[in-house]
């Protein structure tokens, strides 16, 4: 498996696990009913080989992995609260960041939270 495919697989697995958690957050509501939860809960089982990759990444660097998962979930939650016009603007900001990463990284550094041992 190539490194690029591992990264893409990790994103799929992370997304599936987060989606399953988010479905639990709406338990008891109309959003939770139906086959969606059944299918979403089946994803981690279907992707069990990829989840092992996820586990290896976590074991190698739990602090970074936890921070990435936490930040990913926070980002998705924030995006979900925006209206379509805001999402267009955020998309354009992302495009600018992608073209000028060094400039943005000089202005805004990555902040990680140290895990309690």
Kindly state the average pLDDT of the residues 86-112.
90
Which pLDDT does position 48 carry in this prediction?
A: 67
Average pLDDT over residues 4-23: 74
Does residue 100 carry a pLDDT above 70? yes
CA distance 114 to 116: 7
| 17-26, 44-53, 74-83: least confidently modelled range | 44-53
Task: Please state, rounded to an integer, the average pLDDT across all residues of the chain.
Answer: 79
- In percent, how much of the chain has pLDDT > 70? 87
């Amino acid at each position: 498996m190539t490194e690029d495919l591992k990264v893409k697989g990790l994103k799929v697995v992370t997304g599936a696990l987060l989606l399953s958690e988010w479905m639990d957050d709406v338990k008891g509501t109309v959003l939770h009913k139906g086959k969606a939860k059944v299918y979403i809960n089946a994803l981690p089982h279907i992707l069990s080989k990829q989840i092992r990759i996820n586990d290896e990444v976590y074991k190698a660097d739990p602090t970074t992995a936890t921070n990435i998962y936490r930040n990913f979930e926070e980002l998705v939650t924030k995006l979900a609260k925006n209206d379509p016009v805001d999402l267009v603007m955020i998309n354009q900001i992302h495009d600018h960041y992608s073209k000028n990463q060094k400039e943005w990284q000089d202005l805004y550094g990555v902040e990680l939270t140290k895990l309690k041992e």
